[in-house]
């Protein structure tokens, strides 16, 4: 029902004088907000980025805690890039905690510094069909529902309004301040459509005593990023190998990928991949980054047999693997 929440809120002024009517309006509004939150809760995840000082192993580390939105069946998670910002000389170890409190290894797929967002790749997660995004632009006074990790409680729900659009970067500011952990939290409109991502500077740690305004990059501004991710899904969204990899710097200074996890029963497990294997090439394609391997898999059809060049305990060898379907 279009604009139901707006009508209910507008009626509050009249309903205050009538106890019974006021109770009914508030209860209807509660059901609307609770219903939206329930529908999106499975897609809202907690994002953690742990940093260690590479020059001092005994120094205490930094852990940023934020929120992310699981976009599709391939395991793409969008969050604020500030969640992944910590030590300049350290690479974060990233994990994603789903709505069932299960922890998943996350890999950095892409960063857009202009939009201040990051896209993670979590091969062990599946959200089903792509999420429905808000087509219309926001306007001052519109109601917004923020669902995210708030002080370790998640998914926490906050109902707020849109204050206006900032001239310097085109982002939209919300009426309520940012809460630690809400960086990367998705914002939904009164119909439950995905409307944007909180990209404020606050992550898991309180850096300033004063509150910072919550700033949102909208779904329309994110459209190019969302389109690229949707294109990766395309018709090949069922292709997979079933392994997780991390970037690895070799002794000659080159970059390859080290296998960190092999999913039991997956094509990679059946082919004989082991954690610690260093992947350098797939067929004739050199793979130096996570996106290289991920893009190759998504372009491949299920049933295709590939030759993967690996280095295991210093010995180079080829493994034949059949691309599976997920």
d(CA 206, CA 313): 44
The mean pLDDT of the chain is 80
What is the per-residue pLDDT for 32? 85
d(CA 191, CA 214): 21
Select from 128, 134, 127, 129 the least CA-distant residue to 191: 134
pLDDT higher than threshold 90 for residue 273: yes
What is the per-residue pLDDT for 205? 45
pLDDT higher than threshold 60 for residue 4: no
pLDDT higher than threshold 70 for residue 19: no
Q: Kindly report the CATH class assigned to 1-234.
A: mainly beta
Confidence of residue 202 (pLDDT cuts 50, 70, 90): very low
Q: Domain limits of the chain?
A: 1-234, 236-325
Which helix (H) or strand (E) covers residue 225, if one does?
Answer: helix 223-233
Tell me the CATH number for domain 236-325.
2.30.42.10
What is the per-residue pLDDT for 236? 46
pTM for the predicted model, two decimal places: 0.68
At 180, is the secondary structure helix, strand, or coil?
A: coil
* Mean local confidence (pLDDT), 253-259: 79
Which segment of 1-10, 42-51, 229-238 scores lowest on mean pLDDT? 1-10
Structure tokens given for 284: 């004739």
What is the per-residue pLDDT for 115? 93
pLDDT higher than threshold 60 for residue 48: yes
* Mean local confidence (pLDDT), 52-67: 72
d(CA 81, CA 184): 8
Structure tokens given for 275: 């954690």
pLDDT in tens, 171-180: 999 998 877 7
Considering 20-24, 76-80, 286-290, the range whose residues carry the highest mean pLDDT is 76-80
pLDDT in tens, 90-120: 567 788 998 888 888 887 778 888 999 999 8
> What residues are paired with 217 via a beta bridge?
197
Which helix (H) or strand (E) covers residue 292, if one does?
Answer: helix 290-299
């Amino acid at each position: 029902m279009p604009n139901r929440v707006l009508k209910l809120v507008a009626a509050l002024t009249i309903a205050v004088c009538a106890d019974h009517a006021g109770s009914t309006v508030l209860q209807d509004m509660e059901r609307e907000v609770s219903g939206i939150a329930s529908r999106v809760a499975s897609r809202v995840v907690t994002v953690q980025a742990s940093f260690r000082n590479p020059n001092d192993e005994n120094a205490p580390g930094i852990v940023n805690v934020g929120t992310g939105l699981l976009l599709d069946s391939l395991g793409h998670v969008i969050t604020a890039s500030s969640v992944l910002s910590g030590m300049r000389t350290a690479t974060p170890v990233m994990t994603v905690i789903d709505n069932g409190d299960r922890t998943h290894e996350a890999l950095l797929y892409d960063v857009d510094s202009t939009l201040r967002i990051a896209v993670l790749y979590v091969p062990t997660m599946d959200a089903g069909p792509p999420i429905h995004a808000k087509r219309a632009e926001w306007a001052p006074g519109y109601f917004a529902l923020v669902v995210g990790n708030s002080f370790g409680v998640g998914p926490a729900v906050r109902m707020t309004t849109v204050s206006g659009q900032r001239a310097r970067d085109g982002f939209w500011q919300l009426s309520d301040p940012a809460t630690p952990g809400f960086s990367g939290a998705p914002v939904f409109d009164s119909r439950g459509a995905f409307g944007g991502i909180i990209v404020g500077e606050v992550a898991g740690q309180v850096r300033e005593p004063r509150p910072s305004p919550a700033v949102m990059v909208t779904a329309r501004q994110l459209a190019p990023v969302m389109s690229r991710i949707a294109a990766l899904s395309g018709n090949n969204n069922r292709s997979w190998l079933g392994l997780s990899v991390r970037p690895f710097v070799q002794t000659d200074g080159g970059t390859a990928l080290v296998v960190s996890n092999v999913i039991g029963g997956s094509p990679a497990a059946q082919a004989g991949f082991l954690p610690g294997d260093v992947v350098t090439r797939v067929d004739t394609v050199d793979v130096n980054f996570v996106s290289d391997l991920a893009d190759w898999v998504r372009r491949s059809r299920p049933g295709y047999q590939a030759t993967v060049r690996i280095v295991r305990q210093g010995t180079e060898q080829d493994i034949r693997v059949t691309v599976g379907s997920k």
